[in-house]
Structure 1
């Protein structure tokens, strides 16, 4: 489960926020070397308090990470998008930064159609990759407010920055644990996002997946990243 903390797993079991997890007793988890290697960090900076959120879509935050090491499928960037109410998060690996605006616009349409909620605010930094006249016209037509954070002031867009750090830690950890090369980072990052959306976060006793889909997630399909898999050929 992406080397989730003991507290996180206990909460999933206690609140029955996910199915398919074996009944286990968790008292203490020791130091795990890949976690120590992958999760070292600077001292966090406290940001301003968040606005009160009532529904999914009230505030969406987006950020671009990169350039990253060139991946096996030629990706160098990853666009992360998060609904601040539910914490539902997506990560979209990109070949270049120019693809970010179109991918963000497509996701916003899909989110509104799938969830049934209207997006009210989209918050990004001042990077030019998420600013152009076509995207701004799309926002205007849909009544969506575009808020910008001050450059280099990460606390103003702290929620997505913290999520990016968490996802980066998980993806690095599972690559280290599986002894896999860094050029597989897009697959590790998407695996990290899947875990993030199926686990609990501080503000809720429901997972991001359940808050949007109204269904309790199942962990039955979860496998250790990097596990061997076999394909059954029906011709034989």
Structure 2
């Protein structure tokens, strides 16, 4: 768990929860408005991971934060047959894999925001994109395989990766365009839409996030 982070995202999120599979190093990220949402996020990630693999979660290693240490969550884990490993107080090194990944994700997000002059309130999009990229990047701990490949047992497609914060010219799909109207609209690339091949882009005029597959990117251009 990382946070509270200031400023909050445009959706009011102040925390992010990062889970890392110890074997594959594959990561899951959830943006949260409050710490007490962590337990439900873990349950949701657990259900999805078990559905994907057909395997059951055996051990959950966390620190002793109250969001992980409630009686209700302890009963849930016991009922699901999930063993709990709690780190000693003030000993983050005992949960070293996820602690290092947290630092890497935050560092990447900070660099991505600064590189393109993005407002800090877009940190949620930046950490989400950082996790997406890291899951598809080779790591020495897997002998230069990617976490995606170790988890899904197939190589990831990376041809669609683009520079965070660059300008994307999004096709205007509104019907009956006038002959002189623009056929595309410039927006800011924020990342990748989960469960689809669409990109997420921010329209600074409408102040809305759009999803589109019909985009031409100018990776040298930026917000500022």
| TM-score under structure 1 length normalisation | 0.71
Task: Show the counterpart of 2:149.
Answer: 210
Aligned pairs for 1:79-118 (under 5 A) are 79-118=17-56
Moved over 6 A (4+): none
Task: Show the counterpart of 2:164.
Answer: 225
State the shift of 1:220 in Å.
1.2
Cα 1:133–1:231, aligned 2, differ >3 Å: closer, same or farther? farther
Can you give the 5+ residue segments of structure 1 that lack an aligned partner in the other structure?
A: 1-63
Task: Show the counterpart of 1:186.
Answer: 124
Write the distance in 2 (CA, Å) between the matches of 1:67 and 1:195: 24
Cα 1:99–1:231, aligned 2, differ >3 Å: closer, same or farther? farther
Can you give the 5+ residue segments of structure 2 that lack an aligned partner in the other structure?
A: 178-224
CA RMSD, 1 decimal: 1.1
Write the distance in 2 (CA, Å) between the matches of 1:105 and 1:114: 14
Aligned pairs for 1:167-178 (under 5 A) are 167-178=105-116
Specify the SS of the correspondent of 1:228.
strand
State the shift of 1:71 in Å.
1.5
Aligned pairs for 1:1-236 (under 5 A) are 64-69=1-6, 70-204=8-142, 205-229=144-168, 230-235=170-175, 236=177
Cα 1:116–1:206, aligned 2, differ >3 Å: closer, same or farther? farther
Give the strand-richer structure, 1 or 2: 2
CA contact (8 A) 1:101 1:130 kept: yes
Structure with bigger RCO (C-alpha 8 Å, 6+ apart): 1
- How many residue pairs get aligned? The number is 173
Higher Rg of the two aligned structures: 2
State the shift of 1:128 in Å.
0.4
State the shift of 1:202 in Å.
1.5
